[in-house]
Amino acid sequence: MSRHGPTGEVERLDVEASVLHAASLGAPTDRLHVSGRYSARVSFRDVHSTFAWVDIGLNVFAGSWALAAHWIVALRRRELWWAITVAYLAVFVQVLLGVILMNVNDLEPDRFHLFYGFVALAGVGIIYSYRQQLEHQKYLLYGLGGLFIAGLGLRALTLATSALS
């Protein structure tokens, strides 16, 4: 019998008891039916995996926009630089999430997964460092660079997925 709090939500103890009971039966504990409701447990690994797709999507978007701006002058707008900045900051956030995940859960991911993550991080620095020398080709630099970083993210994600199966 479950108790409901003042807002009608199932109390936390009932959810934790259901998780422990399901785990003892060998059931998956990521989604549990608790008193007519579903309780979704989100792990830090889920956050890292989901944000990988955000990171990849942002870099594809910004890279494609910059690549198109190389040929179409009307696309050379201030918002492009904001998009590139957000996409590159997402790389830093993704690597930080990965490092935290490794340390908190004491994980040892595939070496190439780590390699591709840190190459993406270094790639952001390399692209930024070449902005002066390639000023006349900056849209091409940032466009191809963003797509390259997205490709590294896809490869790292592929390695992480194959290691889990």
107 has a pLDDT exceeding 90: no
pLDDT of 21-31, one tens digit each? 444 544 454 44
Q: What percent of the chain has pLDDT over 90?
A: 53
The region of weakest confidence among 62-76, 98-112, 140-154 is 98-112
The region of weakest confidence among 108-112, 118-122, 130-134 is 108-112
What letter does residue 10 receive in the DSSP assignment? Answer: B
Number of structural domains in the chain: 2
User: For the chain, what percentages of helix, strand and coil (3-state, to nearest 5) are there?
Assistant: 75, 5, 20
33 has a pLDDT exceeding 50: no
Are 74 and 36 found together in one domain? no
What letter does residue 40 receive in the DSSP assignment? Answer: E
Are 48 and 16 found together in one domain? no
Are 115 and 156 found together in one domain? yes
